[in-house]
Amino acid sequence: MKARVFATFAVVTAATPGFGQDRLNIYNWSDYIAEDTIEKFEAETGIDVTYDVYDSNEVLEAKLLAGSSGYDLVVPTSDFLRRQVQGGIYLPLDRSKIPNWDNLDPAMMEAAATYDEGNEHAVIYMWGTTGVGYNVDMVRERLGDDAPTDSFDLILNPEYAEKLADCGIAILDSQAEVIEPVLNYLGHDPHTQDPDLLEEAAAALETILPYVRYFHSSQYITDLANGEICAAMGWSGDVFIAADRAAEADNGVEIAYTIPKEGTVQWFDMMAIPADAPNPDAAHAFINFVLQPEIIADITNYVYYPNAVPASKEFIEAEIVDDPSIYPPQEVLDNLFPSGFLEPRTERILTRLWTRVRTGQ
């Protein structure tokens, strides 16, 4: 009798969402995990995962700041992480629960410490660049063999953008992520807080506005793959996912990605645990699971973003690990700048400017 009572109690506990350590609620970027990662984690740990996605740091931040999101693990980008850490919304990580921490590249984690002192609250999940994705044939048809496909000129110079208007240009829908590459393209410090320079960047975007089909941060994957658009200011891996989907569909669409020669932003997406996470132990278990070389290699192989676990390289397909626009060689890395951080005053100015750009569309 006693045994039966206990058994019933155990079942009830396990089935109650949000309690115990048998559940994990993850909120991650869309198209950012291998097909079987969650399945493998559930099989290995018995933890039941709910997996939701977003395509914008701003959306993630709004959810986190509202509180009680119910999420145990989130993946903000470095610059957003910084102010969120300052706002006290993350749990300090318990490294004793993450033995695979030792697999992380110390130099990359040191770079990430710029955003989270002492790497106390977050671990690099994937990293990447913001650059130019394009349809090789459509661009060649309109701009010839001399098309500036190695530069943001393709999108930000009105002379070229105008000629691509008919086949479609897409731009990321994030003021924070777009402004830095645009400032850098214009020859300014990408981290400037000078209102005049921010105004100049907004005006540059307005010049090409008539040629931009839309601002969106994930739609361009499908549209590039289907030939619905021909150029995008987008994130490295996402453009490669588009190329891969086109190849799978065998639809004759060839997509390429360039890190612009004038340089661009290098960002880190970081795994962190909200302070009010219902299942922090399960979140630690997931971080530790992901930091295994073979598991994180599977993710890189699927999403075409590099990771920060050097021992994973031997499990990554040669076409990815040897691609200089995915794993950039030192001279290309030297030309990148880290994502910066905006002072609140600059943030307000930028929000006004961005609203102006977006509503002018």
For ligand N2P, the closer CB: 75 or 164? 75
27, 90, 160, 235: residue in contact with ligand N2P (rule CB under 6 A) = 235
240 near ligand N2P, rule: CB under 6 A: no
CA distance 3 to 15: 19
CB of 209 to ligand N2P, least distance (A): 23
23, 27, 31, 164: residue in contact with ligand N2P (rule CB under 6 A) = 31
For ligand N2P, the closer CB: 29 or 115? 29
- Contacts by 50-56, CB closer than 8 A, 24 or more apart: 50/23, 50/24, 50/25, 50/26, 51/26, 52/25, 52/26, 52/27, 52/28, 53/27, 53/28, 53/29, 54/27, 54/28, 54/29, 54/30, 55/29, 55/30, 55/216, 55/217, 55/218, 56/173, 56/174, 56/217
Tokens of 19: 């309690």
* Phi-psi sector, 70: left (phi>0), alpha (psi -120 to 50), beta: left
Asked if residues 302 and 244 have their Cβ atoms less than 8 Å apart, the reply is no
For ligand N2P, the closer CB: 80 or 289? 80
79 near ligand N2P, rule: CB under 6 A: no
Interacting stretch for ligand N2P, rule CB under 6 A, among 26-34, 116-124, 146-154, 193-201? 26-34
Interacting stretch for ligand N2P, rule CB under 6 A, among 23-31, 42-50, 64-72, 112-120? 23-31
Minimal CA–CA distance to 289: which of 78, 107, 37? 37
269 near ligand N2P, rule: CB under 6 A: yes
23, 26, 32, 178: residue in contact with ligand N2P (rule CB under 6 A) = 32
302 near ligand N2P, rule: CB under 6 A: no
180 near ligand N2P, rule: CB under 6 A: no
77, 103, 192, 300: residue in contact with ligand N2P (rule CB under 6 A) = 77
- Please count the residues of this chain forming the interface with ligand N2P, following the rule CB under 6 A: 10
134, 267, 286, 341: residue in contact with ligand N2P (rule CB under 6 A) = 267
Touching ligand N2P, residues 125-154 (CB under 6 A)? 128
Q: Which residues bind ligand N2P (CB under 6 A)?
A: 29-32, 77, 128, 235, 238, 267, 269
